[in-house]
Amino acid sequence: MNFSFLWIVFAGICWGLDGLLRSKISGVSPLTIVTVEHAIGFLVLAVVGMKHFRFPKLSTKAWFALIGVALFSGLIGTYAFTWAMAHVNYSSFGVMFLLLKLQPLFAILAALIFLGERPKKSFYPLALIAIVSAYFLSFWEAGKHLPSLGSDTTRAVIAGLIAALCWGSATVFSRFLSHQGYKARTMTAFRLGTVAVLGVVALGVFSLFGIDVGQQVTFNANQLSIIAGVALLSGVLGTTMYYRGIKHVHATQASIFELAFPITGFIIDIFVQHKTPDSFQIIGGVFLVVVMIFVARTKKN
């Protein structure tokens, strides 16, 4: 059995803990947070071994995929995620779970289109069970009282859908790039550095044209230390582990293993947020774990 999927599961755990850290830096512009965290992550990798990185000769298609990962997964996806969390005042980890509840659908669609990956027929019911399980795990209680269309929660949900689309597509691009000669640290460094540059450009353009980013763009020393923690946990550690695993795991399967994210958030809700789960959430969590185990045993068609 191939245990490479564990790298992706561990990455999902890091991303789940990332949400807890982000809840401590509310009030700062999401674009500022995204830009600074990626810049810090890039600098860390540069210090610990950037001189050993060697970029292989890539095709035009591969370069587009690299930029796509940085733009969609790094900048747009992370920004949408941070924006969504901020607009529910970082109080509902359910919005965080929405991102991964639908991500497998986008990943499966993108894998079929770009990679031609056609999993066994048994994969589809497993994916459906995982998605439904994630729904009950995340939104059963909130679903009893659906928010109005104009509420912050609804806008956060829309941002969550955008992030799910970006991250699901990026899973496929990352799978493609893992077979083009890139090492995990090289891909991580490129992604972090490119997002930091794009973020600086975006902040500069907003400032030049007087566009309001919604929240303050400055931060204090305490907020900076937390952003640094986010950069190390999810940006450097989580992303590096993810790229190690994605090389040996199909993109469609990887999107399921990434559901370790909502399980981590579920645990955070219990022990940190002190929210007592109901029976449907517990059942959803159990089914999610079981499905991940079955998917791990699914071989390539």
Q: 277, 31 in Cβ contact below 8 A?
A: no
What are the residue boundaries of the structural domains of the chain, listed by start?
Answer: 5-48+56-296
DSSP helix/strand/coil, 278: coil
Counting beta carbons within 10 angstroms of the beta carbon of residue 260, is it exposed (0 to 12), middle (13 to 18) or buried (19 or more)? buried
* Integer Cα distance of 74 and 142 in angstroms: 29
**The pTM is what?**
0.77
Helices (H), the chain: 5-22, 30-49, 60-68, 78-86, 93-110, 123-143, 152-177, 184-208, 221-230, 239-246, 251-257, 260-271, 279-296
Each residue's pLDDT expressed in tens, for the chain with a length of 301 residues: 567 889 999 998 998 888 788 878 877 888 899 999 999 999 988 887 656 666 656 778 878 888 888 888 888 988 888 887 777 665 556 555 655 566 766 777 777 777 777 777 777 787 788 777 766 665 555 555 545 555 666 677 778 778 888 888 887 888 777 777 667 777 788 888 889 999 999 889 988 887 776 667 778 889 999 999 999 998 889 888 988 888 888 776 777 787 787 778 778 877 887 777 667 767 777 777 777 667 656 544 4
Tell me the one-letter amino acid at 191. Answer: R
Output the pLDDT for position 11. Answer: 92
By the 10 Å C-beta count (0-12 exposed, 13-18 middle, 19+ buried), 43 is classed as middle
Q: Are 31 and 202 in contact (CB under 8 A)?
A: yes
Quote the pLDDT of residue 290: 78
* 248 and 4 Cβ atoms separated by less than 8 Å: yes
Closest CA to 230 of 50, 90, 51: 90
- The radius of gyration of the chain's CA atoms, rounded to the nearest angstrom, is 18
Contact 24, 268 (CB under 8 A): no
Q: How far is it, in rounded angstroms, from Cα 59 to Cα 64?
A: 9
Residue 97, token pair as written in the block: 């779970």
Closest CA to 189 of 141, 258, 245, 243: 243
Question: How buried is residue 220: exposed, middle or buried, by Cβ count under 10 Å (0-12/13-18/19+)?
Answer: exposed
Buried/exposed code over 6-38 (b: 16+ C-beta within 10 A; e: otherwise)? bbbbbbbbbbbbbbbbbbebeebbbbbbbbbbb
Residues 104, 253 contacting (CB under 8 angstroms)? no
